[in-house]
Amino acid sequence: MRKIIAATFVSLDGVMQAPGGPEEDPVGGFKFGGWTFHYFDEVAGTSMEELFSKPFALLLGRRTYDIFAAYWPYQKDPIADVFNPATKYVFGDGATPAAFRLTKSRTSTTGVIMATYERAGEIQVGSFATQEPSEAELERRRNWK
């Protein structure tokens, strides 16, 4: 089985978006497309070059696939030369939760953290609870929807 490598751009407040521009994905009134631009430096560039220098396929969400299909086939640049021949996959429901462990990390001069994780088996759960929950807490859990 091949490895799946995810290259994602995620802000601390949870925005996940490719390093495109302001018009890339304005769904829901989002006005901050291109937010990654000013954080990109030589360290981030080197990480991206390493990632895309080997043969790869792309695993894309439906919306990302639609954006790719409407944009990349019409571009004539080195990034398009790498993305266009790659096989593209769009998977439905059925993702399996898994635990991961950090295997490599780098920080750019702009504070961007590039982290590499590998699967580490099934998710293990635990509890910090030190006492039995109160009756009010049990009621809250029963009514949670």
Q: Is 55 exposed, middle or buried (0-12, 13-18, 19+ CB in 10 A)?
A: exposed
> Do 80 and 101 contact (CB within 8 A), yes or no?
no
Looking at residue 55, its pLDDT comes to: 86
Q: Which residue has the tokens 């089985």?
A: 1
Confidence tier at 1 by pLDDT (50, 70, 90): low
**Cα distance between residue 22 and residue 18, in whole Å:** 11
pLDDT(35) > 70: yes
- Which residues, at least 6 apart from 117, have a Cβ–Cβ distance to it below 8 Å? 100, 101, 102, 103
Please state the φ and ψ torsions of residue 133, each to the nearest 5 degrees. Answer: -65, 150
CA distances from 117 to 36, 56, 76, 103 (A): 21, 17, 32, 5
Looking at residue 11, its pLDDT comes to: 86
pLDDT(107) > 90: yes
Determine the average pLDDT of the residues in 56-74. 88
Q: Write out pLDDT tens, residues 39-50.
A: 889 998 898 888
Confidence tier at 81 by pLDDT (50, 70, 90): very high
CA-nearest of 98, 99, 103, 114 to 46 is: 114
Determine the average pLDDT of the residues in 69-89. 91
- DSSP annotation string for 31-81: --TTTTGGG--HHHHHHHHHHHSS---EE--HHHHHHHHHHGGG--SHHHH
**Cα distance between residue 141 and residue 143, in whole Å:** 5
pLDDT(82) > 80: yes
